[in-house]
Amino acid sequence: MKKRMLIALLIPAAVAAYYFYPSAPLPKGSVVDKLVVYKSKRKMHAYGNGQLLKTYTVALGKDPVGHKQYEGDNRTPEGTYTINDRNLNSGYHKNLGISYPNAADIANAQKLGKSAGSAIKIHGLRNGSAGYINKFHHLKDWTAGCIAVTNSEIDELYAAVKPNAIIEIYP
């Protein structure tokens, strides 16, 4: 019985520690050459030279199940893309651009008579809203199709992800 009580006390403490204490940073001098996102787990793994460097908890598009079909569907794309852009001055705290849409994405959207959309990013929180939200932002999927992390996490990713790094996004 004492073991169950101890576990019952430790679980809330571990959850509180996650939300209120900073996570371990990427190792100094890290170069991230690959990101792998598992949408169903809300996890993103950062790799350098085939080694897992860090795992991030993420928020996704408001309707995350399935591959992005068209602009406005609030889905996060699935497939293999690259990190093709960086922006220090967006409406969110920094962002890394994802090379969505590719030719297949455009063709699929055209079949539906719609635009595939664009501007899919990995980004921090909306400018001016970070304060108390921090890690609580991923308790609900809230983006229009992007992948969201905390501001401190996008800071380290912005510095560490090399241009044209691969990003694989799985269901």
Question: Domains along the chain?
Answer: 27-170 (2.40.440.10)
- For the chain, 171 residues long, the average pLDDT of each consecutive 10-residue run is 48 47 82 98 98 96 94 97 95 95 96 94 84 68 94 95 98 97
- pTM comes to 0.85
Active site residues: 123, 146
Q: Which pLDDT belongs to residue 15?
A: 44
Q: What's the pLDDT at 24?
A: 84
Label residues 134-155 b or e (16+ Cβ within 10 Å = b): bbebbeebbbbbbbbbbbbbbe
